[in-house]
Structure 1
Amino acid sequence: MTQSTPTQSADNATTQPQARLMIGTELAAEMVTKAAVRAEALRERTGVQPCLATVLVGDDPASATYVRMKQNRSKKAGIGSRSVVLPAETTTEELVAELTKLSEDPEVHGILLQHPVPAQIDERAAFEAIAPAKDVDGVTMHAFAAMAFGEPGFRSCTPGGILRLLEAYEVPLSGAHAVVIGRSPILGKPAGMLLLASNATVTYTHSRTKDLADIVRQADIVVAAVGKANFVRGSWLKPGAVVVDAGYNEGNVGDVHFEEATEVASLITPVPGGVGPMTIALLLEQTVDAAEAQTAAGTASV
């Protein structure tokens, strides 16, 4: 990627230009197009159409909208979709039973449980009911172990999408100091594992971290995943840092104060249009991966 150069202001003072944007939209579209080609090839060769089952518990408008968006993108990629909508009062046992049924259904190749789930549900127990071969969202402990140990398996979609975006923009990871803000099991933790696997030096930070701004200021790469609007300020950043905003808050606002950060960072993801499209694209790509693997395994066992 080309490097930015200083610009001259009216008074001839040298100033740093705003950060370049890491746009996920075009790269995600390329990934979906390639997934569609593979899905069609699989259908023509075997008669099998990749199928993604989405499971939504309750009637949260934002979650329902997100599920519909994923289903629409699935159709564009030649992936069939099956929608399971359960009432808000669903118990852990009922949800586990539904996910187990989908895991055992040979016509379903990938399973997405929309999260967060209602408070009465043990989310981890629900995730673990998804068969690892169909965990195309990368939410099970099996998937996390695979990411941590560098073994084959599905990546958590948002962290995996982040890595693909960093690679596309040729961000050097080996030897870089990456600070991950947030430690959720499906975003912060796996993001750190994937960065570590790329030979970055990784620091995890969270709600109990002392002197957070000072730690972030040491980072070559910042991954913000805290779910708080405008949480990371421009003054926290080292000049030239690469900033990945994995947050999405009300009003299309990320976890990073965008206007401040663009004055300091060299690269930054916008919200929306940065990480979000990559998440869905990787989900669809991994659904096709799962369909190919399950079809091949079924053929081998005949």
Structure 2
Amino acid sequence: MIGFFAAIFAVLSWTFACSIWRRESENLLPRQINIYKNVLASIFFLPVVLTISWFSDAFSIFILMISGIVGISIGDTLYINSLKIIGTRKTLSFEALTPIIATALGALSLNEIYPQKVWIGSLIVSFSLLMIVRQNTFPKNDSRDINILGISCALGSVFCAVLAALMSRFIFISSTLTPLQTTEIRLLSSSIFLSLIFKKDFLDLFKNRSLTKQNHLSLILSTLLGTNFGILSQQIVFKFLPIGIAWTLLSLSPVCALFISKREDDEINNLTIFYSFLSFIGVAFALI
């Protein structure tokens, strides 16, 4: 049950944070938002570094650093770019691919054995979310090239997220590191990587005078929810649940995104609502 409730909290916090990041992408580049949230989040959890055995857990830490770079540095930058281009609900809907991909890769790489109902539940969720994507709700004034770019970023972020999740699950199986420790290691490696690769963007954050107090408060709130507590909750899910079941649960974000769609001028039709709740049924089927 710990894994289940952690997944629900992760979904809610991530969906809410995504809505803020999309709005703030009008003032900052996607990679600047990613730098901002990761550096701030790693500072919030900085005392945790004193509890980590950096030498005895060196191999596990190295794997987690790669996981942070792939999943948070690259994956989240692509994700926020997709949020800016095609919106929160459509970006979250591309998580349709994660349940079945994660279930298959978990079985192949981590030797996790899933009962038949988990495969069926994952397929139901994937099918439901893919049908949401097929709904013709993209704004008519968006060009085909823009939509393709947004979709490409969303798909890229999905593959980065699944790969990073597999690394995290492997570490939980093979080491004694806690979810809080793995969260901080991933955030630190991501922050350092982004700050070095995009040094100019990192420095420009301090010179950006267009950011108001309200912008900073929104970014701080979204960082606490979506990055600190969101990633921590996600790590708890990966610790207590097999990767396939974990991602099936975490893929419920599009259902939550329905509640913020009007704020983003995102059209919702009856089929979208039907398939969104069908995905929830698929999750329930996998867990019962």
Class of the TM-score when normalised by the shorter of the 2 chains: under 0.3
Q: Relative CO higher for 1 or 2, CA cutoff 8 Å, sep ≥ 6? A: 2
**Which structure is higher in helix share?**
2
Rg: which structure is higher?
1
TM-score w.r.t. the length of structure 1 is 0.22
More strand by share: 1
